[in-house]
Every structure is written in structure tokens, then in C-alpha cells.
């Protein structure tokens, strides 16, 4: 808690110091153009000046920059004059935007400083078990492996045998021959969205529509004169089933962090509110009935 209080005090001092320094520096700034009561300062122009320009290009840039700035200020003044009735509304919107910008920047700084971002496997498992009914699949998931190679390979039968095997040693042997493949995906322990499968293996979608091929423990072989394609569907989870924890784990982690973030911000707001009331920095005045 002491660390958090020190952090709040530091932010307050920093903001106040910036305001003081900006007012002091304003008096010493050199300006290069003026439109009515608006000034364009030299340091603003220099900050936007591209590096490594020739003298001639620098002159062209400066003149163009000043002219564009002047046009903007003249247009702004004209708009303010002609939309005078809207001024109070726009000023309020600008003020609200400014307040939101400061508040959100402050909240971001506090979260980066204070939020506990360590989420353990036990915490993920616990949250998943308590809320798994909320994790319904919007589309089917599959576990599969895929292999595509040219029919001109000399070891075609060996590749097909290794692919169909369930032994890890055979899978490892297959991986060592990956330079011979046109395309492959051999991690059949991970759940993959069906839409992603169709993007990687487009012919599978066409075949599935015709023959309903996407089923658990299904081997699909598609050949033409040039290429052999092998697909093994290890497992399938249909739409509306509960998402497996291995698939949903990154989402659960983000949910836990978001809940912590909201709780942290709520705690900070309540602490500031309570402290303000205790220190008489916030008071509510009620009118007495006459």
C-alpha cells in the first residue's frame, strides 16, 4: 500500500511540475508566425522538420509548413465565428476528451505499475471448472495431421507408412524428411478451428460437403497425377460443445487479468474517494429548507 501511495504522490508532483515548467518556458519561446492571437513557435516547426534535408528543401518545407498552419488557424477562427452557438457544446466535448485522456493515461500507468500479471495453471484450471458452461464453441474444432508430396518422390510408400503410424518415433522420422513435402502439418495433439483447416487444406472443404468426411479417426487420401495428399482426423469437437481447456487457456488467462484490472481500478477509485472525504477534500452541500 505504501508503494502505491508513493506512486500516486509522484504522479501528482510530476503533473504539477510539468504545468509550472510549461508556463515558464512559454515566455522564452521564439515564434515564427502569427495569425490573430495564435502563435506558431520555432520549436514546434523544428520538431517536425525532417532530418537530412538540403538547405533548399528545408526552405521549401518551412514555407509550406507555415502556410498550412496559417490556413488551419484561419479556418478554425472562421469556424468558431460562424458556429458561435455551438462553442459551449464543443468546449464541453473538448474538456471531456481532455479529462478522459488524463484519466485513462493515469489508469494505464497504475495498471502497469501495480497489476499482478502472473496467472498460474491452478488459477486457470479453477476458473475454467467454475465457468466452463460459458465456453461454448462457435465452430467445430479438430485434431489432425496433413501431408502433401509430389508423386515423383522415390520413397512414396515409406512416407505413407510413416504418416499412418501412431508411433512417435515414426512421426519424428517423418519430420526429418520435411524437405520432400509440398505442405505439411503434423501436430495432431492441438485443437484447430475448422475454418483454419479449410484455409490450409481447401480441397478438404469440397470433399467434406460432398461426403461428410470430417469424422473422428478418419484417414483421407486424395491423389491426382502430380500430388498425393494425406489427412488424418484424430478427433472432432462439434459446434456448441464446451471448448477444451487446452484450446481456451489463453482466453481464460486474459479474462482473469481483466478481472484483476477492474478490481484494481475499483480499489484505487474507492481509496481516493474515501481519502478525499476523510481529508475534507470532497464535500456535498445541501440547501436547507427555508
The set of cell numbers assigned to 30 is 521564439
Distance CA 271, CA 110 (A): 13
| Multiple choice CATH, 137-237, 3.30.720, 3.30.67, 3.30.420, 3.10.50 | 3.10.50
Give residue 5's pLDDT. 44
Number of Cβ within 10 Å of residue 287's Cβ equals 5
Distance CA 252, CA 243 (A): 11
Distance CA 243, CA 128 (A): 10
Give residue 25's pLDDT. 58
Residue 252, burial from CB neighbour count under 10 angstroms (0-12, 13-18, 19+): buried
pLDDT in tens, the chain (290 residues): 444 544 444 444 444 445 444 544 566 789 889 998 899 999 988 888 898 889 899 999 999 999 999 999 999 889 888 888 888 888 899 999 999 999 999 999 999 999 999 999 999 999 999 999 999 999 999 999 999 999 998 889 999 999 999 899 999 999 999 889 999 999 999 999 999 999 999 888 887 755 677 788 889 999 988 999 999 999 999 999 999 999 999 999 999 999 999 999 999 999 999 989 888 888 888 766 55
Give residue 90's pLDDT. 86
Give residue 1's pLDDT. 47
Taking a C-beta distance cutoff of 8 angstroms, is the pair 162, 147 a contact? no
What is the domain partition of the chain in residue ranges?
Answer: 2-82, 117-127+244-290, 137-237
Taking a C-beta distance cutoff of 8 angstroms, is the pair 127, 248 a contact? no
Predicted model pTM: 0.68
Give residue 205's pLDDT. 84
Residue 151 bridge partners (DSSP)? none
Distance CA 61, CA 184 (A): 54
Give residue 209's pLDDT. 57
Among candidates 264, 258, 256, 260, which has minimal Cα distance to 124?
256
Amino acid at each position: 500500500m505504501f508503494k502505491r501511495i508513493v506512486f500516486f504522490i509522484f504522479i501528482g508532483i510530476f503533473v504539477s511540475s510539468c504545468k509550472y515548467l510549461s508556463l515558464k518556458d512559454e515566455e522564452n519561446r521564439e515564434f515564427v508566425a502569427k495569425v490573430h492571437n495564435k502563435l506558431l513557435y520555432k520549436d514546434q516547426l523544428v520538431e517536425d522538420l525532417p532530418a537530412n534535408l538540403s538547405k533548399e528543401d528545408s526552405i521549401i518545407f518551412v514555407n509550406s509548413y507555415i502556410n498550412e498552419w496559417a490556413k488551419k488557424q484561419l479556418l478554425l477562427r472562421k469556424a468558431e465565428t460562424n458556429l458561435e452557438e455551438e462553442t459551449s457544446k464543443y468546449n464541453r466535448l473538448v474538456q471531456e476528451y481532455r479529462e478522459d485522456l488524463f484519466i485513462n493515461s493515469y489508469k494505464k500507468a497504475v495498471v502497469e505499475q501495480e497489476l499482478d500479471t502472473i496467472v498460474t495453471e491452478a488459477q486457470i484450471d479453477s476458473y475454467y471448472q467454475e465457468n466452463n458452461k460459458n465456453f461454448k464453441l462457435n465452430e467445430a474444432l479438430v485434431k489432425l495431421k496433413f501431408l502433401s508430396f509430389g508423386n515423383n518422390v522415390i520413397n512414396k510408400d515409406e512416407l505413407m507408412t510413416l504418416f499412418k503410424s501412431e508411433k512417435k518415433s515414426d512421426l519424428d522420422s517423418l519430420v526429418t524428411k520435411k524437405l520432400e513435402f509440398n505442405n505439411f502439418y503434423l501436430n495432431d495433439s492441438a485443437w484447430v478451428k475448422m475454418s483454419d483447416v479449410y484455409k490450409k487444406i481447401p480441397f478438404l472443404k469440397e470433399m467434406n460437403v460432398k461426403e461428410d468426411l470430417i469424422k473422428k479417426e478418419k484417414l483421407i487420401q486424395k491423389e491426382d497425377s502430380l500430388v498425393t495428399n494425406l489427412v488424418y482426423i484424430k478427433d472432432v469437437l462439434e459446434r456448441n460443445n464446451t471448448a477444451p481447456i487446452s484450446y481456451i487457456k489463453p482466453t481464460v488467462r486474459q479474462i482473469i487479468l481483466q478481472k484483476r484490472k477492474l478490481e484494481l481500478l475499483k480499489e484505487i477509485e474507492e481509496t481516493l474517494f474515501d481519502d478525499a472525504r476523510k481529508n475534507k477534500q470532497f464535500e456535498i452541500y445541501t440547501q436547507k429548507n427555508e
